[in-house]
């Protein structure tokens, strides 16, 4: 234990500085409830993504970005979640599972759209297997993080900005 503390004091904090990000990629439609600050549980739903958005989301939990330092963590069930992150265009096969997941998230059912596809279908818009994006099914997210895919820094800052003001 002493060695761990000694190394920590010698090496300093190794997590990434997230202060540089692209503000233009963040759109806040509704403020997140302040009561969730420091303890935000997220269930992720891939509605039909190409998986690049998932790679960036997965990076949030590594020791480099370490999103848990902000009290934000991913959980396995919508019933344990305060918020849903949505990626990808909404495919016909994922439309009902998305609605089922939303039903199981306790109010206020915070929705966070990750990536261009989540909002309007992105590059898959108009494809035969696609219902569309959140706006096509009349769901307004609290936050949209734009990008194809968005960067981990933009995602973290977008979520944190949702609590500001």
Report the interface residues with ligand SF4, using CB under 6 A. 49-50, 52-53, 87-88, 115-117, 122-123, 148-149
Q: How far is CA 9 from the centre of its chain?
A: 32
What torsion, rounded to 10 degrees, do the Cα atoms 153, 22, 114, 109 define? Answer: 90
> Closest separation between CB of residue 156 and ligand SF4, Å?
17
The residue (of 78 and 147) whose beta carbon lies closer to ligand SF4 is 147
Per-residue 3-state assignment (H helix, E strand, C coil) for 70-124: HCEEECCCHHHCCEEEEECCEEHHHHHHHHHHHHHCCCCCEEEEECHHHHHCHHH
> Closest separation between CB of residue 46 and ligand SF4, Å?
8
The residue (of 78 and 149) whose beta carbon lies closer to ligand SF4 is 149
> Closest separation between CB of residue 144 and ligand SF4, Å?
11
> Closest separation between CB of residue 121 and ligand SF4, Å?
9
The residue (of 122 and 141) whose beta carbon lies closer to ligand SF4 is 122
The residue (of 91 and 157) whose beta carbon lies closer to ligand SF4 is 91
Rounded to whole angstroms, how far apart are CA atoms 156 and 70?
9
- CB burial class (10 A; 0-12, 13-18, 19+) of residue 109? middle
The residue (of 33 and 54) whose beta carbon lies closer to ligand SF4 is 54
> Closest separation between CB of residue 145 and ligand SF4, Å?
10
Rounded to whole angstroms, how far apart are CA atoms 117 and 140?
14
């Amino acid at each position: 234990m002493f060695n761990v503390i000694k190394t920590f004091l010698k090496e300093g904090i190794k997590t990434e500085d997230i202060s540089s990000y692209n503000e233009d990629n963040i759109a806040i439609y509704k403020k997140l409830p302040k009561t969730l600050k420091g303890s935000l549980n997220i269930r992720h739903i891939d509605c039909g993504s190409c998986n690049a958005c998932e790679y960036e989301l997965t990076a949030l939990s590594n020791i480099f970005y370490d999103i848990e330092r902000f009290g934000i963590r991913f959980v396995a069930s919508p019933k344990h979640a305060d918020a849903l992150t949505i990626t990808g265009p909404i495919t016909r096969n994922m439309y009902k599972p998305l609605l089922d997941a939303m039903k199981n998230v306790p109010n206020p059912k915070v929705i966070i759209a990750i990536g261009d596809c989540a909002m309007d279908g992105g590059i898959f818009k108009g494809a035969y297997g696609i219902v569309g994006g959140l706006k096509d099914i009349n769901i307004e997210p609290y936050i949209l993080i734009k990008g194809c895919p968005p960067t981990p820094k933009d995602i973290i800052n977008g979520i944190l900005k949702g609590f500001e003001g």
